[in-house]
């Protein structure tokens, strides 16, 4: 199996999140994932969440890596893996945000959008990763709020 890995060093500044998104979009396009594909926006959102968590919760520099794999001997593209490594040994702590909370939803989003995610120790710090199977079906639907309210935006998520 061939794997292409690209990486970007991230400084401990919230402005780096936007730079990471722009970089990711260009690397996705270079790997054959079109900007108009729902998969591209899903991956950019996952990257945004993981980089934001690293920058905000650790205050440390981080490294963003994307790994693109293709199944051996098949034309089907494989899995896209996103990793964000930082120098903080503190493990990620999923939280549950209440209705009006302005944060605390990052890992819930990652859990809902990625096919798999987790974390592992890496050197003195850790790496948080998620994977999206490029050949998995993408379902588009409307998310309904409790009480039946449906906001005007559609949400794309993995089936």
Q: How far apart are CA 123 and CA 106, in angstroms?
A: 24
Q: DSSP of 47-91, one letter per residue?
A: HHHHHHHHHHHH-S-EEEEEEEEE-TT-SSEEEEEEEEEES--SP
> What average pLDDT does the segment 34-52 reach?
93
Q: What share of the chain is helix, strand, coil (3-state, %, to 5)?
A: 30, 35, 40
Q: Which residue has the tokens 């919760």?
A: 57
Residue-level pLDDT at 94:
72
CB 134 within 8 A of CB 78: yes
Give the confidence band of 24 by pLDDT, cuts at 50, 70, 90: very high
CB 125 within 8 A of CB 87: yes
Q: What is the pLDDT of residues 110-134, one digit of tens each?
A: 999 999 999 999 999 999 999 999 7
Q: Is the pLDDT of residue 141 over 80?
A: no
Residue that wins the pLDDT comparison between 81 and 136: 81
Q: Is 111 helix (H, G, I), strand (E, B) or coil?
A: helix
Residue-level pLDDT at 103:
64
Q: Which residue has the tokens 């449906």?
A: 150
Q: Is 129 helix (H, G, I), strand (E, B) or coil?
A: strand
């Amino acid at each position: 199996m061939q794997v292409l890995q690209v990486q970007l060093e991230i400084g401990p500044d919230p402005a780096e999140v936007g730079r990471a998104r722009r970089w990711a979009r260009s690397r996705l396009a270079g790997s054959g994932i079109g900007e108009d594909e729902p998969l591209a926006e899903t991956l950019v959102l996952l990257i945004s969440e993981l980089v934001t968590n690293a920058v905000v919760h650790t205050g440390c520099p981080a490294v963003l890596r994307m790994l693109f794999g293709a199944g051996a001997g098949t034309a089907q593209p494989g899995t896209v893996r996103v990793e964000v490594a930082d120098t903080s040994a503190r493990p990620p702590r999923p939280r549950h945000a209440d209705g009006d909370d302005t944060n605390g939803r990052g890992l819930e989003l990652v859990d809902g959008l990625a096919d798999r995610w987790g974390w592992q120790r890496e050197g003195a710090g850790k790496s948080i990763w998620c994977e999206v199977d490029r050949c998995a079906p993408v379902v588009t639907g409307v998310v309904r709020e409790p009480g039946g309210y449906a906001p005007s935006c559609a949400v794309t998520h993995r089936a």
